[in-house]
């Protein structure tokens, strides 16, 4: 049942030190069940509604906002209007995204950034990096053959 407090969630909640409401449990569970996926606020809303639980859209935005500030959720902006959210457990962190300009598919990748880049940023720019996002645009395997930007 969707409000069961599993170990992963327990862990998160402890870390965050927040008031645990029915709605937050459902939202967290939905995000956990979809680790690695990129969900829009509306997709989260629909997933929850499909389990016969209805919660307000505003609650979703407010909860996600809080989760973002707690660093539990990551926000993505791919080209398509609505922002996408993804829970960050262990190291879904700092992965990269290959975005196909033809079919829109998003593929994961990693290890493309120079290893010393945290240090270099701090030394050269005085910038303390906490997090980064690398989005790579181009054509996926399937689309490559027929592809030509319009």
Interaction site with a copy of itself (CB under 8 A): 69, 71, 75, 77, 79, 98, 100-101, 107, 109, 112-114, 117, 120-121, 124-141, 144, 147, 149-150
Number of residues that bind DNA (CB under 7 A): 23
Per-residue binding letters, 84-123, with DNA (x by CB under 7 A)? ----------------------------------------
First to last CA, the chain: 47
Residue 100 assigned ligand-binding role: yes
Q: Contact between 18 and DNA (CB under 7 A)?
A: yes
Type and span of the H or E element at 30: helix 22-33
| Cβ proximity to a copy of itself, 1 vs 149, nearer residue | 149
Is 41 in contact with 57 (CB distance < 8 Å)? yes
Place of tokens 């996408």: 84
Token digits for 21? 């409401």
Distance of CA 113 to the CA centre of its chain: 20
Q: Annotated binding site for Zn(2+), which residues?
A: 100, 103, 140, 143
């Amino acid at each position: 049942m969707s409000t069961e407090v599993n170990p992963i969630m327990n862990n998160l909640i402890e870390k965050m030190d927040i008031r645990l409401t029915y709605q937050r449990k459902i939202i967290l569970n939905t995000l956990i069940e979809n680790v690695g996926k990129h969900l829009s606020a509306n997709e989260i809303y629909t997933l929850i509604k499909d389990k016969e639980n209805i919660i307000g859209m505003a609650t979703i935005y407010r909860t996600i906002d809080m989760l973002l500030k707690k660093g539990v959720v990551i926000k993505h902006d791919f080209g398509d209007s609505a922002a996408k959210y993804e829970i960050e457990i262990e190291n879904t962190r700092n992965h990269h995204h290959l975005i196909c300009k033809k079919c829109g598919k998003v593929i994961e990748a990693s290890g493309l950034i120079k290893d010393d880049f945290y240090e270099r940023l701090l030394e050269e720019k005085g910038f303390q990096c906490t997090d980064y996002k690398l989005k790579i645009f181009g054509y996926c395997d399937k689309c490559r053959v027929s592809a030509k930007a319009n």
